[in-house]
Amino acid sequence: MTIKTQIGAEGRELTSSSAHSKGNERKRLRRAWVVVFLLVIFQIIAFADKAVLGLVSTDAMAELGLTPTQFGMIGSSFFLLYSIVSIVTGVIASRVSVHWIVLTLGVIWAVMQFPMLLGGGAAVLLATRIILGGAEGPATAMSLTSAHTWFKPKERALPSSLIAAGSTLGPIIAAPVLTLVITAWGWRWAFGVLGIVGLVWCVSWLFFGGSGPFLANKKQQVVTDNAKNIEQAPVAKESSVDDQPSFPIWRVLLSVSFLAALVGATSNFFVQGFLTTWLPQYLETVVGLPLTQVGVVTTFPWIIGALVLLTLGAIGDRMMRRGLTARISIAALFGLSTTVAGISFLLVTVTSGTISVAFLAIAGGCSLVFPMAATAVSYCVGVKQRPIIMATLGGLAATGAIISPTLVGSLMTQAGYVAPAKGVSPSPEMVEAMTSGVHSAFVITGIFLIIGGVLCILFLRPERTVQRLRELHDRNSSTI
């Protein structure tokens, strides 16, 4: 009788423990998706900040007296500190809570919008774009790092894709709204509205953001920051992905997987530089759309980009849950999308009218998949090194966006394009000059994307990279 009573008590305790564990799991997931929602908004704001320059290009060039090459250099300047700050922030993130890093970035974004609202000139525009770009460099890597602290390795494909889709939703939401703002209040208020929205987001993140239980610690942890009121069950060590030893960073950076991802990611950023700087003016001058329609058509590449990311994210998530590798589930899909983008850019130059615009939208949309490259690379290292690797990838890849706006402006200038005075329509000769210059850039972009996509399909292999790095690590450890 005593034994039965003891067995019954132990059974009740096990049942109670199981129910408690399930309750904690539900709490974790609820909080995790709140954080993902905030990070999606974070990405929307970040990419709206990039897109605003292209939307104000016609009015800003006329009022500030800028040539196409000068305006292209301002567009490129956004990415001038992008690389440096990304890499430095990745190092800091291994020592400081990513929650506070994300908040700091958001505050800088908001504050840097107001100088142009208050009457800043070309020099102020240049300075604020440099600072703003530096602060936005680590955005994607820090967003993914923050989200990954809330999800198990096999659960990360979908939230990663949702955050990535947020980067494409920025221009989708911002372009029509900011176009209305520009029409009603003037181009400077486009910056002001973004600053106000940024401040509201910072307050929300301060109260509802936080880091999750899957942090860079092999011991059981509880949720930190604002999530510390949620009791956590012990984190099961179901995968070795998060428990990789710390590899020498230079070995990771020189791995074939990282180098392939770098070429593919750089080609993606190359397109971003064009979309955020020149696409609205191209649609207005070459295609001949009025500003109100430009605000709508400008969103097409970003809408397609969001759909591509969500679709590939859902496919990748299902593949990962079925046990397929990150190479097939993430890296190969990234390479395929990038290759399609390259082919579409080449087709833009040999078509015209609606068909040409359709190919341009497909080309732009399929090239907005950089976060997939960052996610694939993240599977090469453990939690502690993940922010460094992802931020370094984004920082180095941003050189593509530094080059492309200036390159496009330079090709336009070489073709003979001169920006008309404010309120004056460009002559047929100027339309032809812009068309010639931009289409030359499309050929370069298309070839670059195809090379990057094919390299990622063939050589971006996170699992093989991990295996090689582990073998080197074990070999070196055994000789000590």
CATH number for the domain spanning 56: value is 1.20.1250.20
- Count of structural domains within the chain: 1
Q: 290 by DSSP, 3-state: which?
A: coil
Q: What is the pLDDT of residue 215?
A: 62
How does 317-351 read in b/e, with b if 16+ C-beta sit within 10 Å?
bebbeeeebbbebbbbbbbbbbbbbbbbbbbbbee
Q: What is the pLDDT of residue 213?
A: 72
Residue 454 within any structural domain of the chain: yes
Give residues with Cβ within 8 angstroms of 27, minimum separation 6.
230, 231
- Which region, left, alpha or beta, applies to residue 273 given φ > 0 means left and ψ of -120 to 50 means alpha? alpha
Of 348, 314, 323, 331, nearest in space to 257 by CA: 331
Q: What angle do CA 392, 396, 399 make, to 5 degrees?
A: 155
Residue 52 within any structural domain of the chain: yes
Of 341, 355, 323, 319, nearest in space to 272 by CA: 341
Residue 389 within any structural domain of the chain: yes
Residue 113 within any structural domain of the chain: yes
Owning domain of residue 452 = 31-212+244-479
Q: Say if CB 452 and CB 343 are below 8 A apart.
A: no
Residue 27's H or E segment, with its range, is helix 2-55
DSSP summary character for residue 242: G
Residue 367 within any structural domain of the chain: yes
Residue 238 within any structural domain of the chain: no
Q: What is the pLDDT of residue 271?
A: 92
For the chain, residues with pLDDT lower than 50 are: 217-239
Q: Say if CB 364 and CB 280 are below 8 A apart.
A: no
Residue 221 within any structural domain of the chain: no
Residue 24 within any structural domain of the chain: no
Alpha carbons 110 and 140: distance in angstroms, whole number: 17
Q: Say if CB 379 and CB 466 are below 8 A apart.
A: yes
Q: Say if CB 178 and CB 117 are below 8 A apart.
A: no
pTM (2 decimals)?
0.69
